[in-house]
Structure 1
């Protein structure tokens, strides 16, 4: 493991024993030649996810495995990984294998090329490999959120993102924050950008969300983020005298 990684790849997983090991290998291959670490956060899985990942640590020295004692959700698992991360740049992706790790380095390069004011480069999935109902629900939700929050994101549900750790830690934390990171970055005065990324069909396991459950959570979250935006006051350029 690199003593000082430049990139921490954070992956939340829950009951993904079938997908997680191959995903870890793909991440290691995608970032080969760079100083990186891989932080999987097992959100109290009920299957063999934790054991399957732990068995890979000898094969992938960059791999770290953190484990929640109780199931706390995707956003908390992401935050756990970011708090434990040792690099200034974070890459997140979903643990089901639908995000392609090969797209990660390009997001990192775009982030680093954008200057210090650019805090996030998010992926926008093209040719999504989901059911028609899920795609329609996502399109509707993204449209409503984008209109109300003005976050410029066409696909905030894409788990593949690259962003600055310091910027993320400035954001107010709440459950489901992972869908509102672009809006909250803008609220803090940062810039955000987006790039097209691939999307793959799920090969194992099953989705942890339903369209109805996502709708119920999104309604209250959206109102909360709108309130946070209304209470934001930026100080402009800060200088030390």
Structure 2
């Protein structure tokens, strides 16, 4: 079967969400505009997530997984997904399902002439503190990166895989994916997507992760931008 699109699903202690993840992604596969498969990346979960993931993959031919030895963080999980993807397009969605897999079709409509399409969460259903800290963090990142993106933390993205594989990931870089595509002279766009409240499980990011941590990451990004190697091949034999 020739797949065109891989959806990466990072998982860290999400046992209460995984049955719903299976249903919603299975439903999406039936209506996907590209032939789609799912790749769970178990980021060292200590609950029953791995057991549930293996059961899901056994009963669904379009689902696969990789499992980390121990927790390495969201950026590492996304990088692993990029590394293992073998389709022309790759995307990811959080296992808390605060965004809808069905909105991948909105992003895929634009990927033809763009190299990354990211969602921007409309009418966010998060707490006031979380919304405000995210807005502040995004404004700081825009000042550093000039990527023009309003919501780089939105966990719904589609990227051309050859661009994704060239991203030199480090911890925290998942917030800078649009900027890293721009460093490759790629084209990016944002598209409004739905947003829902978290139904089960616990958020993995607090105030430090959303605000103070990303500020430090901005300086790491500036260093990388200065040192980044980009080239184009005009001919080969």
Provide TM-score, normalisation by structure 1: 0.91
Q: CA deviation at 1:232?
A: 4.5
Instruction: Single out whichever of 163-172 and 223-232 deviates more from structure 2.
Output: 223-232
Q: CA deviation at 1:233?
A: 6.7
1:125 counterpart residue number:
121
Q: How does 1:157-196 map to 2 (within 5 A)?
A: 157-196=153-192
DSSP 3-state at the match of 2:56: coil
Residues paired across the two proteins, number: 234
2:144 aligned to 148, 163, 166, which one? Answer: 148
2:66 counterpart residue number:
66
Is 2:99–2:156's contact at 8 Å kept on the other side of the alignment? yes
In the alignment, the residues of structure 2 paired with residue 223 and residue 204 of structure 1 have an alpha-carbon distance, to the nearest angstrom, of: 34
Residue 104 (structure 1) aligned with residue 104 (structure 2): yes
Q: CA deviation at 1:31?
A: 2.5
Q: 1:238 to 1:67 in 2, by over 3 A?
A: closer
In the alignment, the residues of structure 2 paired with residue 216 and residue 145 of structure 1 have an alpha-carbon distance, to the nearest angstrom, of: 12
String of CA shifts for 1:90-141, please: whole Å, max 9, x gaps: 01111111111110122122102x2xxx210000000111100000000011
Is 2:134–2:211's contact at 8 Å kept on the other side of the alignment? no
1:208 aligned to 197, 204, 211, which one? Answer: 204
Q: CA deviation at 1:181?
A: 0.5
String of CA shifts for 1:179-221, please: whole Å, max 9, x gaps: 0000111011111011000111101011111112333321221
String of CA shifts for 1:156-179, please: whole Å, max 9, x gaps: 000100001110111212011110
String of CA shifts for 1:68-96, please: whole Å, max 9, x gaps: 11110011111112211221100111111
Q: CA deviation at 1:59?
A: 3.1
1:78 counterpart residue number:
78
Q: CA deviation at 1:153?
A: 0.7
DSSP 3-state at the match of 1:55: helix
The unaligned stretches of length 5 or more in structure 1 are: none
Is 1:120–1:182's contact at 8 Å kept on the other side of the alignment? yes
The unaligned stretches of length 5 or more in structure 2 are: none
Q: CA deviation at 1:234?
A: 5.4
2:215 counterpart residue number:
219
Is 1:15–1:48's contact at 8 Å kept on the other side of the alignment? yes
DSSP 3-state at the match of 1:44: coil
Provide TM-score, normalisation by structure 2: 0.93
